[in-house]
Amino acid sequence: MFMAVTASEPERKRRKIRPRSERRQQLIDATIRCIAHYGLSSTTMQTVTREAGLSLGTANLHFDSKENLLNETLLFVTNEYNEGLLAIMNSEGIASLAGRLSLLLDFQLGPSVTQRHKMAVWFAYYGEAGARPVYQKICSRRDRAAAQRFEALFDSIIADGGYENVDAKQLAIGYLSLIDGLWLALLIGPKDLSKAGARAVAQAFLHQAFPRHMA
Amino acid sequence: MFMAVTASEPERKRRKIRPRSERRQQLIDATIRCIAHYGLSSTTMQTVTREAGLSLGTANLHFDSKENLLNETLLFVTNEYNEGLLAIMNSEGIASLAGRLSLLLDFQLGPSVTQRHKMAVWFAYYGEAGARPVYQKICSRRDRAAAQRFEALFDSIIADGGYENVDAKQLAIGYLSLIDGLWLALLIGPKDLSKAGARAVAQAFLHQAFPRHMA
Amino acid sequence: MFMAVTASEPERKRRKIRPRSERRQQLIDATIRCIAHYGLSSTTMQTVTREAGLSLGTANLHFDSKENLLNETLLFVTNEYNEGLLAIMNSEGIASLAGRLSLLLDFQLGPSVTQRHKMAVWFAYYGEAGARPVYQKICSRRDRAAAQRFEALFDSIIADGGYENVDAKQLAIGYLSLIDGLWLALLIGPKDLSKAGARAVAQAFLHQAFPRHMA
Amino acid sequence: MFMAVTASEPERKRRKIRPRSERRQQLIDATIRCIAHYGLSSTTMQTVTREAGLSLGTANLHFDSKENLLNETLLFVTNEYNEGLLAIMNSEGIASLAGRLSLLLDFQLGPSVTQRHKMAVWFAYYGEAGARPVYQKICSRRDRAAAQRFEALFDSIIADGGYENVDAKQLAIGYLSLIDGLWLALLIGPKDLSKAGARAVAQAFLHQAFPRHMA
DNA sequence: AATGAATGAGGGTTCATTCAT
DNA sequence: CATGAATGAACCCTCATTCAT
């Protein structure tokens, strides 16, 4: 006779069969934690699968190779970030231009994005990007997308605020670079810069550019 | 025309003996090139020594371990950068405040520092810094030193220019983060940002802060 | 007559999966053969795994390190010997005191224990024991255990035979040292001493001490 | 002007030139200390030459290879022991048979021979002898020589004392094996057996055989 | 679908030996 | 004679991958 229950079992080390997408996410999450904890170079299939509570073979079953798993992990992190940005960018009906600017800053330097976890993963991939075209492509695509969106937003703000002598494109590059640099500062020297401090710096940057849209 | 024959000898591996410091530098240089080319995780003792034109054992003879070689390489790059900054910072007798500000920007975004080589190495180590305390310590020490020097310089400029409502410390953090972010942009998306473009962004940042000291 | 052809297949490395304990024993046995054949210092993981018909990684999979494999091998040999002694010591119901004495001698200088194999392993570890505390500890523990057991046995024999002026402890040390020395002689100069000769020497020693219990 | 003094110089790291034989002995002594301290398998040319206070190349200059150095070291230790035995054996004019017997025992279990140093070296070589014919040959030659001398001595004692039913050859083998075993006990389990205890055991052995020649 | 024992290429490191100095 | 920097084969070990279960 078979049992119906699954969870309350006395932990019988049984081979649970779960949908493909769930397993994939489970492994990607574990990969992120491993990269943050051990670094990219010390993240092994062993480490990842143990962290995920799965067996070694399962990772290869779902991702074919370590390379693929790492690529997918980067893509996931990238998409998550992009979608976060996009959601705010597209909230025209809900928030004003100034409101959206503020929300974006809150998002980019907020608790979710600035978890050590997340930032560590970014820079782990950046560090290898110089040598791995795949990473470079994914990262630069993300950067370009963000730059274009911010440029468009800044254009709207410039038009809205009647700012003069402001180059939206240059500003977008500057702002996004600043954000990257602040992430790095938060990651490398957390004692020298608080999250609030980082936020203040970015806010000051935007205030300089758009005094009537950013406090 | 053919050469004299001595060279066509059976190519017998000449064993040159060179001073310790020279060999060390040779290996550090090779390490930098390898990290830039293959990435930190694919930089092996094999790769490095071949790049340096030396044998495998030689690297361990002079650095004892790969770990040590990598640490020393990071230290070298760090020191080189710091000394470059310091040289300009200390040129009070030669250059005005505005002149020094300009020189620093030229240095930080100039051809020497922004070689792909160099930037790739920075970010390679940053990427592993989250997992390796040694890297983190070296990097954060460098960052802190730079921040303090810039803060002091900005203080002088503020006093000199009578700027008001400017926080030198915050500005230093912002400026250095911006530089880091621009390096990253140059490294990851070189097609989206020229060196001149990066320079313009940083210049605009400083101009906003100190209009009378930066064009 | 030729065989059926299945065997002449392109010899594709079959990967058999066996229980952990079996693999461990397989590797320990191979280690013993290697030490006997090549010496401890020339026994490499390569050698051992090839001898065992396994791949290199397998040894580390089951023993983590060479050091551990060597320790476990010593422990195995030690335990095997101890258990052999103990089995005879504890056969009170079956054999008389004199009978047990004889059986012990037969065991210690019998064909199983005096295989070149086994003796070579003993002395290989003894040779390194001076420099490796782990070996020394295991060996001295075994020696002490044996000495205590023999002392107790000799006490019984002394009581049984009414022997006077005999120090059981001293005799135990002497007897066991003699056995060690005979093993060494068998190992180093097998041409100068036959197994029967060694047996005669030990028998003479016991006869001197306990004439009424040993022929 | 050259100086005449050599020793009182301020340690000027100079290349002292010494006679060949002296250098050889210096290296052999260092080898013995290293084997005793680090074990045979961890004794490297590096270790030995540093211990000897010489440079790496010098060892190869005088011994051509490590193998040769080790062989010569074994030969030296062997000869030293043999000469010690021989000196006593040949002292017929000076000491009586009983006296010589006592002197031999004193020598074999005396402070010089039973230095941990010395014993460790013996067993280090014994341990590898099973796999290295050269060691085996040297060791077994020494053993055979000792056995023959003791047999001859015992013959004289038997004749002198009128002992009956004593097999000189068997006794020699037994005695020498006992000595080997006692060395091993002293080396491996020094806490379980004092030098005095070992001496007592050997003395008891000889007393049993030759009561009128050994107390 | 899931497991993990088994594999072996490739990593870092050691060390006997060579040879320019 | 003497030195020690340089070499590279061979060591131990890790780890992505495979595949019998």
DSSP A119-162: HHHHHHHHHHHTT-HHHHHHHHHHHHHHHHHHHHHHHHHHHHHT
Question: D5: pLDDT confidence band, cut at 50, 70 and 90?
Answer: very low
Residues A43, A144 within the same domain: no
Q: Does D163 reach chain C within 8 Å, measured CB to CB? A: no
Q: pLDDT by residue (tens digit) across C23-45? A: 999 999 999 999 999 999 999 99
What average pLDDT score do residues A6-24 get? 62
Question: A66: pLDDT confidence band, cut at 50, 70 and 90?
Answer: very high
Residues A188, A126 within the same domain: yes
Closest residue to B188, CB basis, from A139, A181, A182: A139
Distance set, CA D46 to CA C59, C128, D32, D49 (Å): 30, 19, 14, 5
Q: Which domain holds residue B117?
A: 66-209
Q: Is residue A9 part of a domain?
A: no
Residue B47 in contact with residue B55, Cβ under 8 Å?
no
Q: What is the reported pLDDT for D17?
A: 72
Q: What is the reported pLDDT for C13?
A: 59
Question: C118: pLDDT confidence band, cut at 50, 70 and 90?
Answer: very high
Please report, as a single letter, which amino acid is at residue A76.
F
Question: A111: pLDDT confidence band, cut at 50, 70 and 90?
Answer: very high
- Check the CA dihedral D189-D195-D196-D201 and report its sign: positive
Predicted confidence (pLDDT) at residue C8 exceeds the cutoff of 50: no
Distance set, CA D108 to CA C83, C127, D103, D112, D126 (Å): 33, 19, 9, 8, 18
Q: What is the reported pLDDT for B9?
A: 43
Q: Is residue A134 part of a domain?
A: yes
| Those residues with Cβ within 8 angstroms of residue A136's Cβ, 6 or more apart along the chain or in another chain | A129, A130, B188
Residues A39, A111 within the same domain: no
Q: How far is C87 from chain D, CA to nearest CA, in Å?
A: 24
Q: pLDDT by residue (tens digit) across B2-44? A: 334 344 444 445 678 999 999 999 999 999 999 999 999 999 9
Contact call for D123 and C120, based on CB within 8 A: no
The 3-state secondary structure of C97-155 reads: HHHHHHHHHHHHCCCCCCCHHHHHHHHHHHHHHCCCHHHHHHHHHHHHHHHHHHHHHHH
What average pLDDT score do residues B130-159 get? 95
Predicted confidence (pLDDT) at residue D11 exceeds the cutoff of 50: no
Q: pLDDT by residue (tens digit) across A21-58? A: 889 999 999 999 999 999 999 999 999 999 999 999 99
| Those residues with Cβ within 8 angstroms of residue A78's Cβ, 6 or more apart along the chain or in another chain | A138, A139, A141, A142
Q: Across chain B, what does the average pLDDT equal?
A: 92
Higher pLDDT, B94 or C11: B94
Q: Is residue B140 part of a domain?
A: yes
Say what the pTM is. 0.91
Question: D4: pLDDT confidence band, cut at 50, 70 and 90?
Answer: very low
Closest CA to D27 of D79, D80, D82, D71: D71
Contact call for B187 and A39, based on CB within 8 A: no
Q: Is residue B201 part of a domain?
A: yes
Higher pLDDT, C10 or C111: C111
Q: What is the reported pLDDT for D189?
A: 85
Residue D177 in contact with residue C182, Cβ under 8 Å?
yes
Residue D52 in contact with residue D30, Cβ under 8 Å?
yes
Q: pLDDT by residue (tens digit) across B73-129? A: 999 999 999 999 999 999 989 999 999 999 999 999 999 999 998 999 999 999 999
Distance from CA(C136) to C1'(E15), angstroms, rounded = 26
Q: What is the reported pLDDT for D6?
A: 37
Residue A185 in contact with residue B180, Cβ under 8 Å?
yes
Residues C105, C195 within the same domain: yes
Q: Is residue B8 part of a domain?
A: no
**DSSP string computed for B85-111:** HHHHHT-TTTS-HHHHHHHHHHHHTST
The rounded percent of chain B whose pLDDT value lies above 90 is: 87
Predicted confidence (pLDDT) at residue C162 exceeds the cutoff of 90: yes
Closest CA to A138 of A186, A93, A195, A79: A79
The backbone torsions φ and ψ at residue A205, rounded to the nearest 5 degrees and listed phi first, read -60, -50
Residues A115, A78 within the same domain: yes
Residues A85, A34 within the same domain: no
- Check the CA dihedral C107-C112-C113-C116 and report its sign: positive
Residues C38, C88 within the same domain: no
Residue A27 in contact with residue A69, Cβ under 8 Å?
yes
- Our CA dihedral for C107, C110, C113, C114, rounded to 10 degrees, sits at 150
Please give the Cα distance from C51 to A110 (Å, whole number): 60
Kindly report each contact of residues B89-94 with a partner whose C-beta sits within 8 Å and lies 24 or more positions away, as own/partner.
B89/B149, B89/B153
Q: Does A134 reach chain B within 8 Å, measured CB to CB? A: no
Q: Across chain C, what does the average pLDDT equal?
A: 92
Instruction: State both tokens at D211.
Output: 């009561």
Q: pLDDT by residue (tens digit) across D60-84? A: 999 999 999 999 999 999 999 999 9
What average pLDDT score do residues A167-184 get? 97
Q: Is residue C215 part of a domain?
A: no
Contact call for A192 and B128, based on CB within 8 A: no
CATH code of the domain in which A47 resides: 1.10.10.60
- Our CA dihedral for A95, A98, A100, A105, rounded to 10 degrees, sits at -150
CATH code of the domain in which D162 resides: 1.10.357.10
- Give which of A188, A203, A208, A210 to mutate to test B binding, by max B Cβ within 10 Å: A188
Residues A167, A127 within the same domain: yes
Quickly count: other Cβ atoms within 10 Å of residue B200's Cβ: 18
Q: What is the reported pLDDT for B190?
A: 82
Instruction: State both tokens at D29.
Output: 């002594």
Residues A126, A190 within the same domain: yes
Residues C148, C59 within the same domain: no
Please give the Cα distance from B174 to A182 (Å, whole number): 8
Supply angle C-alpha C159, C162, C165, rounded to 5: 95
Asked whether A and C share 3 or more beta-carbon pairs under 8 angstroms, the answer is no
Question: D18: pLDDT confidence band, cut at 50, 70 and 90?
Answer: confident
SS3 C38: helix
Q: How many domains does chain D have?
A: 2
Residues B43, B115 within the same domain: no
Distance from CA(C53) to C1'(E7), angstroms, rounded = 12
Higher pLDDT, B45 or A10: B45
Please give the Cα distance from D28 to D39 (Å, whole number): 15
Predicted confidence (pLDDT) at residue D134 exceeds the cutoff of 80: yes
What average pLDDT score do residues A108-116 get? 96
Q: Which residue is nearest to nucleotide F11 (CA to C1')?
A: C44
Residues C123, C172 within the same domain: yes
Instruction: State both tokens at A69.
Output: 């798993």
D193: closest chain C residue by CA: C173
Q: What is the reported pLDDT for A15?
A: 61
Contacts of A154 in chain B (CB under 8 A): none
Please give the Cα distance from D91 to D82 (Å, whole number): 14
Please give the Cα distance from B198 to B189 (Å, whole number): 12
Q: What is the reported pLDDT for B14?
A: 66
- Give which of B70, B108, B139, B178 to mutate to test A binding, by max A Cβ within 10 Å: B178
Please give the Cα distance from D8 to C19 (Å, whole number): 69
Q: Does D166 reach chain C within 8 Å, measured CB to CB? A: no
* Helix, strand, coil percentages, rounded to 5, for chain C: 70, 0, 30
H-type helices in D64-132, by residue range? Answer: 66-89, 97-108, 116-129
Supply angle C-alpha A189, A194, A198, rounded to 5: 95
Q: Is residue D9 part of a domain?
A: no
Q: Which DSSP category does D152 fall into?
A: H
Q: Does D160 reach chain C within 8 Å, measured CB to CB? A: no
Q: How far is B202 from chain A, CA to nearest CA, in Å?
A: 8
Q: Is residue D7 part of a domain?
A: no
Q: pLDDT by residue (tens digit) across D151-208? A: 999 999 999 999 998 999 999 999 999 999 999 999 998 899 999 999 999 999 999 9
What average pLDDT score do residues B127-132 get? 92
Tokens 């779960």 appear where? A18
